Amino acid sequence: MQLIDTHQHLIYRDQLGYGWTNGIPALASGNFTRSDYGELTRGDDVIGTVFMETGVDDADYQKEARFVASLVGGDGLLAQVASCRPEIDEGFDAWLDECDRLSVAGFRRILHVVDDEMSRSETFRKNLRKIGRKDLAFDMCFLARQLPIAADLAKACPDQRFVLDHCGVPDIAGDAFSVWADAISEVARSPNVSVKLSGVTAYCTPGTANVETLRRWIDHIVQVFTPARIVWGGDWPVVNLGSGLPAWIEITKELLADLSADEQAAIGTGNARRIYRLS
């Protein structure tokens, strides 16, 4: 099963600030580079990646996209999902226009670290519709408790392609399956939303991130979104808080082994090419 990793973070501390990593020992120091990633995935059928904005310090989000643009085209890096601030009109159009030249395949605003009302504002939704008119994707990053907000946002912007990151951040360690399953089923009813199979090993009780633990959660994702609306992401290096990247790749392949070859190909590469308009 070949994979396009649609959620590859990179950390270059000599270039950018990553204040959110403070207090997370596995991520708080050192760089996490393209060459590091290549060493981890050699022989694991990862045929390309899409950089995902890494939540840099607010003053650096545009600098990050400009820096990553210089890396696209090397080492299998196909495109990037850049950060943006749809809640603010000033400078938003200019940033969209600049990103036309930065190999940007989509945008993201991390929404679990801001007020819940932000994505409900008309300014935010108006600017998201501009992203849709540019035929670019928007990654939604919500916690499980915020999934009704995600469902509402998708309905309000029906012409925008959305990707829900990390399976909606389920509380696997807390076994909060039923509430999450109902909420994510509602999100899946919007045909403009796909889901990213990523991040979930970090939500397991430490030491329990395995096929058995994850089976019913991923089976539910496959059931409600179908293989036609699922993409795969490594979430490296954050995945180090769970299984680590090589193990997550193997878990993915085992979880999806019962799907047809065409369905596996759609999740592994085909949907990523379509949703992010990759060549």
Work out the burial of residue 160: count CB atoms within 10 Å of its CB; fewer than 13 is exposed, 13-18 middle, 19 or more buried. buried
CA torsion sign for 196, 199, 205, 208 is positive
Residue 95 binned pLDDT confidence (cut-offs 50, 70, 90): very high
Q: Is the pLDDT of residue 121 over 90?
A: yes
Residue with tokens 């946002």: 153
In this prediction the pTM is 0.97
What's the token pair of residue 9? 């973070």
Q: Is the pLDDT of residue 260 over 90?
A: yes
Percent of the chain topping pLDDT 70: 100
Percent of the chain topping pLDDT 90: 99
pLDDT digits (tens, 9 = 90+) for 131-164: 999 999 999 999 999 999 999 999 999 999 999 9
Gap between the Cα atoms of 149 and 184, Å rounded: 11
Q: Is the pLDDT of residue 70 over 90?
A: yes
Residues 84 and 132: beta-carbon distance below 8 Å: no
Question: Residue 171's closest CA among 143, 139, 136?
Answer: 143
Question: Residue 58's closest CA among 132, 113, 99, 8?
Answer: 113
pLDDT of residue 225: 98
Mean pLDDT of 12-16: 97
Domains in the chain, number: 1
Q: Is the pLDDT of residue 279 over 90?
A: no
Domain of 95 in residue numbering reads as: 3-275
Q: For position 41, which CATH number holds?
A: 3.20.20.140
Mean pLDDT of 263-269: 98
pLDDT of residue 2: 97
pLDDT of residue 131: 98
Q: What is the mean pLDDT of the chain?
A: 97
pLDDT digits (tens, 9 = 90+) for 214-247: 999 999 999 999 999 999 999 999 999 999 999 9
pLDDT of residue 183: 98
Q: Is the pLDDT of residue 43 over 90?
A: no
Helical segments of 145-258, H only: 147-156, 177-188, 211-225, 245-255
